[in-house]
Amino acid sequence: MLQGTAEWSGVPEVVRSSFYVLHKTLRSYDKRLDRCEKAIVDCHARFERNKRQASVKSAQTPLDMDELLLPVQGALKSKLDHAEVDTLVQMIVHDLHATQLTLVKEKLQQQAAHFESALLNTRSTLAKKFQDDHDSLQLQLERTNVDLFDQAAMIQMLESQVGEARSYNESQIQSMQNAMDSRLTDIETSLLKDLTAHFEPGHLVSESLKLVRQEVQPTNDKVAALESAVMSIHDTLRQLTTSLEYHQETKLSTTVSRAVEDTMATKREKPGGVLATSLLSKPTTEEERKGNAVVALVDDFDCPQQDDRRVPTALTKKDELRSKREISKARFEAVALRQRERLRQYSKE
């Protein structure tokens, strides 16, 4: 019982201990009852033996035997009565213990049934809770998968939008560059046409120069506005191309200064007509040919009241415009190259 056999494995240890104590008490009472029964049997045997002995002697002295047997019979009767009383008491106690054991057994059976029902209820509750938790986790997992799928689709859409925006920005930059180049070319062409169309010998030089300055001024304003817009758009890109701009500006300023020095030296060495012929006949580029033509025409029709210092000033402005145009073109090319490199790297990733 105490070692936990199969039939007592589900009973609590306290109940098993109580059963063990009751069982041990019952066994002790059984042993005492056996001893009492043996004592009764011994008393009967002794009584019979004494009775036989007394019957043997009774033939000789019946009166003496009766006198001798009276106290023995009284003692034996008293002992027998006491033994019967003890036996009855032990039987009553045994019955009480058996009744108590039966009650305890019924109580234990009730507790076992209660424990079994509680265990079944607990198992059903835990199973239901486990199923609910499993369903909840499964639902959360499905929702998380849906959210992740939506986020992946959103990321792909954003990537496509970024690619479209980059291509659109590149096309916008290229179109702005082409528009600015065409605009500057149109301005230079219009300047040359206006100068050659309205340029007359003699006293019309000052008026032509005034008209040229009046026409050049709004053009310069437009160019400055375009440059300010481009510089404001690409302010962040200018910081990344500082070294390239410095190199280009140094090279262009050196070229412009050399061109101006060559022009001034040629002007000091040769007269106006010869300067015009030599400059116009010299194989140069389109932009240098236009600039030399302007200088030649101004020298041919120079008048006393005209200030000679304004011709180098106009040339310097034109050279500055040309240098700014080349700087802007180089800057746009660098930006477009970086955009293409970024798009190539992004497509590789």
* Tens-digit pLDDT profile for residues 48-107: 888 877 666 555 556 666 666 777 777 778 887 888 888 888 888 888 888 888 888 888
| CA distance linking residue 26 with residue 36, whole number of Å | 15
* Tens-digit pLDDT profile for residues 177-203: 778 778 777 777 777 776 665 555 444
Sign of CA dihedral 194, 200, 201, 205: negative
| CA distance linking residue 64 with residue 57, whole number of Å | 9
| CA distance linking residue 210 with residue 306, whole number of Å | 11
- CB 326 within 8 Å of CB 248: yes
pTM for the model stands at: 0.26
Residue 240 has what pLDDT? 57
pLDDT (average), residues 323-338: 82
- Buried/exposed code over 3-39 (b: 16+ C-beta within 10 A; e: otherwise): eeeeebeebeeeebeebeeeeeebeeeeeebeebeeb
DSSP state of 282: S
Range of weakest confidence among 104-113, 206-215, 257-266:
206-215
Residue 241 has what pLDDT? 58
Residues in the chain: 349
Which residue type, as a one-letter code, is found at position 111?
Q
* Tens-digit pLDDT profile for residues 123-141: 899 989 989 988 888 898 8
pLDDT: which is higher, 272 or 242: 242
Query: Read out DSSP for 287-325?
Result: HHHHHHHHHHHHHHT--TTS-TTHHHHHHHHHHHHHHHH
Helix, strand, or coil here: 280? helix
* Tens-digit pLDDT profile for residues 31-63: 888 888 888 888 888 888 888 776 665 555 566
- CB 166 within 8 Å of CB 339: yes
Which helix H or strand E contains 63, and what residues bound it?
Answer: helix 62-198
Confidence of residue 231 (pLDDT cuts 50, 70, 90): low
SS (H, E, C) 259-270: HHHHHHHHHHHC
Confidence of residue 21 (pLDDT cuts 50, 70, 90): confident
The answer on pLDDT for 232 being more than 50 is yes
pLDDT: which is higher, 296 or 43: 43
- CB 299 within 8 Å of CB 202: no
| CA distance linking residue 322 with residue 152, whole number of Å | 50
61: left (phi over 0), alpha (psi -120 to 50) or beta: beta
Residue 237 has what pLDDT? 59
Confidence of residue 279 (pLDDT cuts 50, 70, 90): very low
Residues 6+ away with beta carbon under 8 Å from 340: 170
Residue 203 has what pLDDT? 46
The residue among 345, 323, 325, 322 whose CA lies nearest residue 333 is: 325
Residue 278 has what pLDDT? 40
The answer on pLDDT for 229 being more than 80 is no
| CA distance linking residue 347 with residue 342, whole number of Å | 9
* Mean residue pLDDT across the chain: 72
SS (H, E, C) 115-138: HHHHHHHHHHHHHHHHHHHHHHHH
What are 261's two structure tokens? 């020095």
The answer on pLDDT for 343 being more than 70 is yes
The residue among 285, 294, 289 whose CA lies nearest residue 315 is: 294
What percent of the chain has a predicted confidence (pLDDT) above 70? 62
